[in-house]
Amino acid sequence: MTAFVEYLLTGVSRGLVFALLAMGFVFIYRVTRVVNFAQGAFAVFGGFITYSLLRAGMPQGISELLAVIAVALIGLVFGIITIVGEIPLLASLVITIGLSILSEAIGMLIWGTTPITYSGLAGHDFVIFGAFIQRQYLIIGIASLAVFVGLVYVFGRTYFGKAMSACASNPYAATLSGINVKRMGFIAFMLGGALGGLAGVLITPLSPITYNADVSLAITGFAAAIVGGLASPGLAVVGGLVFGIVEQFVAGYWSPSNETAVALALLVVLLLWQSRWVRLGGLE
Amino acid sequence: MIRRMHRNIPSFASVAVGLITLALPLFLSSSNIEIYVNIGLYTIVVAGLSLLMGFAGQVSLGQAAFYGIGAYTAAILAVHGWSPLVALIAAPIATAILAFLIGIPLLRLKGHALAFGTLAIQLIFLAVIPETGALTGGSIGLSGIPPLRIGSLEISSGRDYAYLVWIVVVISLIIAGNITRSRPGRGLRAMAASVSGASATGVEVERYKLKDFTLSGAYAGIAGGIYVFFIGYLSPDAFPVILSIEFVIMVVVGGIGTVSGAFVGAALITVISQVLSTLGTGPSLPPQLPTVLSLGVYALILIVILRLVPSGIIGALSKLFNKVQSASPVAPPVIGNSVETVSTTDNNDKKEFTLADEI
C-alpha cells in the first residue's frame, strides 16, 4: 500500500508536468498546425533560467515567475522563426527540430553539461499512508491546477479565448471575422513557451535536467498530447497523467530501465490506434 | 527538363566526382581516410533517407537506429564465428526485414506522427540495447570484432575500407538513381506531391512507401555493417538521436529527393563538423565548445535552408542551371506537400482539411 501510494502520487505529479508540456503542443498545433518539436527545449530553458536567477540571489517564487515569462518570450521568437511566411507544414516541423538543437547548443554553452537542479519551495516533506511524499508534489499540484482553471476560464469565457478557438477550428472563417490568425499563432507559441517553461520550472527540483533533456521531454509531452489527437487540451491532461502513472508503475513494480521503452511503445501503439481513428473519419 | 539534366550534365559531373573520389584515398592521411570513410557511409544512409523524404514525403527520425541495427547484426554474427563477409551481407538483409516489419504498422502514420513514431523506435532501440547485455554487450559494448575478409583478401587498412565504401556508395547511388527514374519512382514522386492524387491515378501508395522504407533500412544496414568492421568496436553511444537528426540535415542540405544531393549533404556536413571540432579544440577553450559549435551550425543550417532554399544545394544549383538554359521553372521535391496558408479561394475550408489529413 505504501509503495502503491508513493508510485501513484509521484506518477500523478510527474504526469501533471507532462500535461503542461502536452497542452503547449496542443495550443500551438490547434492554431498553427505546427507540431513544435522545441516544446521540450522550453522546459529545459525554464529550469535553467530559474536555476540562474536563484543563484543570482533572486527570491524563490519571483525567480520561477520570471523564468516562465522569459520562456514565453523565447516561445514568441521561436514562433516568429517558424511561422512567418509560407512554409510547408512538415518543413516547419523540421525547423522546430532545428530550434531544439539550437537550444541545446545555447544551453550547453551557458549552463554546461552537468545536470542542474535546485530545491523547490522550502518546507517539510509529509507522509500519507506511510508513503514519503515530497513537498514539491503539492506545489506541482497547486500550480498546474491553477493553470488548468485559468485556461478553462480564458477559453470558455473570454472573447480572446474564443477568437483563439475560432482560429483552431476554421482559420478562414476566423480571418473573415477580423481575427488576425498569424498573430494568434504567435500568441499560441508564447502560451506554449509559458506552459513548457512552467513544466521545466516544476520538474527540475524532482529530476535534475541537462541541456539535452529536451528530446525526451518533447516526446513524452507529444505522447500525452496525442491521446487527444493533438487537438484537445483536456485529453492532453488525461494523457499526461496516464503516461506519468504508467512510467512510475513500470519503474516501481518492474524495472526502472524498462520505464522509457514501455512509455515509448505505448506512444507508438497510441499513434497507430489514432491513425486508424483518423482513417475511419472519427477525428477530422 | 529534369530528365535531360539527369542524363547529361550531372552524369558528366558524377563521373568526374567518382574519379576524383576514387583517386583521393591514395593521397589522404590516416585521419583523413577516416573522414572519407564516414562521408561514404553517411552518403549511403542519406541516399536511402532521401528517397523516403523526397519521394514518399515523409521524415524519419529513426535512421540512426537502423544504422545501429545493421552494425549490431554484423558485429554479433562476426563475434559468434560467422564469416565476416556473411555477417556483412546479413546486415542490410536483417535491417531491411526489420524495417519492413516495423513499416507495416508504422507507415500508416504520416507527417509529424511518423516523425515521432520513428523517433520513438530510435529511443526504444537505445533503451533496449543496454538491457540485452549477454548478446550485445549492453551499455559497455562489443569488442573483438574480427577483421573483414572477402575470400583470401583481408580488408584491414583505412585505404582498403575507403575503396570498399566507394564501391558500395556507387552501387547504392546507381540503384537509388534508377529507382527515381523508374515507374515506382515516378509513382513515389507523385505521392510526394499529393498522396490522394497519386492514389487516385492508380499508384499503389502503401506498397511503394513500404518498399521505400525497407530500402532505406537496407541502406542504413549495409552502412552500419561496414562501420562496425571499420571501427572494430561497438557501443550504443555510437547511435545517438542527434545522429538521426544529422542524417535529416544532410538530406535537407543536399536537397530532398536528389540522389547526388546525398553525397553533397553527407560530405558538407561531415567536413563542416570536422572543421568545427578542429577549430573548437584548444588548450584554453572549454571542452564542450566543439559540440556547441556543431549543434549551433546544424541548427542554423536546418533553419536557414528550410526557410530560404527549401530545395537544398543541388536543387538550387539545378534551378539556377535551368534558368540559364530555359525559362521553364522546375520544382524539385520539398518536404511535405502543403503550405499552411489562409488563401482566399472559396473551397479553402475543404483544402485545409485535406492538408491536415495528408501531412
The three three-digit cell numbers of residue A19, written as one number: 500535461
What tens digit of pLDDT does each residue of A256-280 get? 777 778 888 888 888 888 776 554 4
Average pLDDT, chain B: 79
Q: Do residues B45 and B69 touch, judged by C-beta distance below 8 A?
A: no
Q: Give the pLDDT mean for B147-172.
A: 85
Only one residue has cell 518546507, namely A123
What domain range includes position B252?
Answer: 2-358
pLDDT for residue B314: 66
Backbone angles phi, psi at A244, to 5 degrees: -60, -45
Which chain B residues touch A170 with a CB distance below 8 Å?
349, 352
CATH (domain of B300): 1.10.3470
User: What averages of pLDDT result for each successive group of 10 residues across chain A (284 residues)?
Assistant: 84 93 92 91 96 92 94 96 80 89 93 87 67 80 91 87 85 87 92 96 91 90 87 89 90 79 85 67 37
Q: Count how many pairs of residues, chain A against chain B, have C-beta atoms within 8 Å.
A: 173
Write A252-260 long-range contacts (CB < 8 A, 24+): A252/A3, A252/A6, A252/A7, A253/A7, A257/B127, A257/B130, A257/B131, A258/B127, A258/B131, A260/A216, A260/B123, A260/B124, A260/B127
What tens digit of pLDDT does each residue of B313-350 get? 666 666 666 665 554 444 445 554 444 333 333 333 33
The three three-digit cell numbers of residue B207, written as one number: 506498397
* Interface membership of A86 toward B (CB under 8 Å): yes
pLDDT for residue A98: 92
What residue in A sits closest to B336 (Cα-Cα)?
A90
What tens digit of pLDDT does each residue of B42-51 get? 999 999 998 8
Indicate the helix (H) or strand (E) that contains B341: none
Q: Do residues A229 and A30 touch, judged by C-beta distance below 8 A?
A: no
pLDDT for residue A202: 93
Q: How far is A223 from chain B (nearest CA, A)?
A: 9
Rounded CA separation B255/B245 (Å): 15
Q: Give the pLDDT mean for B163-186.
A: 85
Q: Which of B34, B59, B45 is nearest to B159 (CA)?
A: B34
What tens digit of pLDDT does each residue of B34-70 get? 899 999 999 999 999 988 887 777 788 999 999 999 9
Residues 56-75 of B with CB under 8 A from A: 57, 59, 61
pLDDT for residue A268: 85
Q: Do residues A199 and A17 touch, judged by C-beta distance below 8 A?
A: yes
Mutate to test the interface with B, among A101, A181, A217 (most CBs of B within 10 A): A101
Q: Give the pLDDT mean for B107-115.
A: 83
Residues 13-32 of A with CB under 8 A from B: 32
Residue-range domains of chain A with CATH: 2-279 (1.10.3470)
Q: Which residues pair with B199 in a beta bridge?
A: none
Which chain A residues touch B129 with a CB distance below 8 Å?
none
- Structural domains of chain B, count: 1
Q: How far is B57 from chain A (nearest CA, A)?
A: 9
Please name the member of B105, B339, B342 whose beta carbon is closest to the beta carbon of A272.
B105
* Interface membership of B352 toward A (CB under 8 Å): yes
Q: Which residues contact B4 (CB under 8 A, 6 or more apart)?
A: none
pTM above the 0.90 mark? no
Q: Which of B161, B125, B134, B147 is nearest to B78 (CA)?
A: B147
Is the predicted pLDDT of residue B353 greater than 90, yes or no?
A: no
What tens digit of pLDDT does each residue of B249-269 get? 999 888 777 788 889 999 999
